[in-house]
Each structure stands twice: as C-alpha cells, then as structure tokens.
Amino acid sequence: MVSSAELEKKMILKQQAQLQKEEGQNRLELHAKLEKLEMLEKECLKLTATQRIAEDKIKHLEEKLCKEEHQHKLIQDKKAQISYSSVLESLLGVLHISMKKYSTCVCISETIYQPQHRSN
C-alpha cells in the first residue's frame, strides 16, 4: 500500500511538473502572440496614416486638375474670341479697302462721265 501511494504521489508530481511545463510554454506562446498582435496594430496605424495621406494627396491633385481644366477652358474661349476678332478685323479691313477702291472708282467715273448740261 505504501508503495502504491508513493507511486501515485510520483505520478501526481510528474503530472504537476508536466502541467507547469505546458503552462510555461503556453505563457511563452501567449507572450509571442501578444507581441505579434502589438506589432500588427502598429503596422495597421501606419498603414491607416499612409492611406489618409494618399487620400489627401489625391484630393489635392483632383482639385488642381479641376482648376487646370477650368483655366484651359478659359484659354480656349479667349483663343476663340481672339480668332473671331482677328477674322472680323480682316474682313473689315478688306471691306474698307474695297470701299475705298469703289468710292475712288465712283468719283473718277463721275468726273469722266459727267453729263454736260447743254445750254439752248
């Protein structure tokens, strides 16, 4: 009986030692997992900050693009206006020259072909 009790005691002590060993391993695993979790949380914060910066840059570039497109439209409108004015000035110049030639011709023709009044 005594040897059976001693044997049982040894088994219980052995089981306790095994449980303590497993508990120590579990603590080490838990500690490693907590460290990994902390590292992942830090990485997540960095990525979130990087994403926010990227989104801000995209927004800034979109606003800049919108302004540039507006400026481009204004320039195109001004070019069209200048082109129209240039064509109009050219036409007016041609018309002015034509009118000068016509009036000169009319004056000359009236002078040359003026009917003379006959006195009876």
> What would the two tokens of residue 69 be?
């497109």
pLDDT tens-place string over residues 61-117: 999 999 999 999 999 999 888 888 888 788 777 777 777 666 666 565 555 555 555
Spatial separation of the C-alpha atoms in residues 105 and 86, rounded to whole Å: 28
Spatial separation of the C-alpha atoms in residues 55 and 43, rounded to whole Å: 18
pLDDT tens-place string over residues 4-41: 888 998 999 999 999 999 999 999 999 999 999 999 99
Measured CA to CA in angstroms, residue 11 lies from 1, 6, 8, 26 at distances of 15, 9, 5, 22
